[in-house]
Amino acid sequence: MTPAPTTSVLPAAESLPVAAPETQEHLHIPVPRAGVTASRIADYRELFKDRVTAMVVLTAWAGFYLGSMQSGISSVQPGLLEALLGIGMVSAGAAALNECIERKLDAKMIRTANRPMAAGRISLPHGILLGLAAIIGGAIWLTHSTNLITGTLTLFTAFTYVTIYTPLKRRTSLATFIGAFPGAMGPLLGWTAVRGRIEWPAVALFAILFVWQFPHFMAISWLYREDYGRAGIRMLPVIQPDGWSTVLEALTYAILMIPVSLLPVYLHIAGIYYGVTAVILGLIYLGYTIRFGRITRARSTIESKMYARDLLKVSVIYLPILLTALMLNAKGK
C-alpha cells in the first residue's frame, strides 16, 4: 500500500515575516571583540599579582593546618576556605594598591612596563577602587568568619605593605627588611584564624618565612638591578653595585635559615623526619647561596645573572617542599 503524499506545514521562505529595520536595530546585542575578555582577565590577574597572592594563600594554608593540628580538629572544614578567601582578598588588594602607587616607576622598567597600570590599560581610579574594595571586603570577611585578631592583623599587614614598604623602596635599601615583615605574615594569619591568638609556634612559622625571603630577594634584585636603577628604586645592588653587600646579606640569612627552620621541632609541632628534611634543604639552599657569591668575580653580566637565577629557582622550590614536609610530619594535640 503506497503512503499518501504529505503536505509540508512549513511556510514558504518568501512568506516568512521580516523584521522592520527599526526592530532589527533593537534586537542588536553588543558582543565584545575577540580576546577582549581574556585580556581583561589577564590584566586583573596582573593587577592582583596572582602568583604572589597564591604564595601567601599557600603559606596561610600551612599555618591553618598546623593550628588545626594543635587544636585537635580537622583542617578540612569550611573555615579553611573562609580564611584563605579573606587572606587572599586582602593580599590581592594590597598588590593592586602597590601597582597604583608604583605605576610610573613600573613604566620605566622593562620587567614591569607592560603591567596594566603602567601601560594605562587600567585607570588609576579603577585600580584604587578595586584595591580598597578587596582589602576592606577581605578584612571584614575575616573578622566575621574567623576572629577579630585575624582580620585586624591582615589589615595591618596590608597597611604596612602599601603605606610603609612601597614608598620606602625609593628612599632606602632597608625597605627590603621592612617589606619582609608583611611578606612573612601568611602562616601566622592562618594560625590565628584557627587558634584566635598569637602563639610561639605561629611566631616560628613567621620567622621561617621572614628569613627565607632575603636570599630570594637578593637574587631578584641582582637579576633586575639595571631596571631598579632606572626607576630609582634603592635596592642593595643598585647603591652598592660591586655585589659584596648583596652576597653578604644573602649568606647571613641562608646560614640563619637552618636553625630557624628547626624551630617547629624545638617547639614540638613537628617530628624528626621534618627536622632531617629541613637540615638537608637548608644545606642545599646555603650551597646555592654560596655559589651566588660568585657574582663578585663573574667574567660577564650573563654569568653573574646565571648564578642569581639559579638561586632564585632554588628558593622558589625550597619553600613549598619545606612547608609540605612540615605539614606531613606535624604533631597533633
What's the CATH code of the domain at 181? 1.10.357.140
- 216 in the same domain as 191: no
- Structural domain count, the chain: 2
- 333 in the same domain as 225: yes
Is residue 24 a part of any domain in this protein? no
Could you tell me the sign of the dihedral formed by the alpha carbons of 196, 130, 113, 38, in that order?
A: positive
Is residue 312 a part of any domain in this protein? yes
Burial (0-12, 13-18, 19+ Cβ within 10 Å), 50: middle
- 218 in the same domain as 159: no
Is residue 130 a part of any domain in this protein? yes
Which residues constitute the domain of residue 82? 39-198
61: cell is 594554608
| pLDDT score, position 167 | 96
Q: Which amino acid is at 172?
A: T
pLDDT tens for each residue of 5-41: 444 444 444 444 444 444 444 545 555 665 778 899 9
- pLDDT cut 70: percent of the chain above it: 89
pLDDT tens for each residue of 249-294: 999 999 999 999 999 999 999 999 999 999 999 999 999 999 999 9
- 320 in the same domain as 286: yes
- 234 in the same domain as 173: no
Residue 332 predicted with pLDDT over 90: no
- 185 in the same domain as 53: yes
Which of residues 198, 218, 233 is at a domain's end?
Answer: 198
- The answer, as to whether pTM is greater than 0.85, is yes
- 190 in the same domain as 61: yes
Is residue 26 a part of any domain in this protein? no
pLDDT tens for each residue of 120-139: 999 999 999 999 999 999 99
Q: Which amino acid is at 163?
A: T
145: cell is 568568619
User: For residue 121, what are the contacts with CB-CB under 8 A and spacing of at least 6?
Assistant: 39, 43
Which of residues 198, 233, 249 is at a domain's end?
Answer: 198
Cα 72 from Cα 209, distance rounded (Å): 25
Cα 278 from Cα 284, distance rounded (Å): 10
Is residue 129 a part of any domain in this protein? yes
Is residue 15 a part of any domain in this protein? no
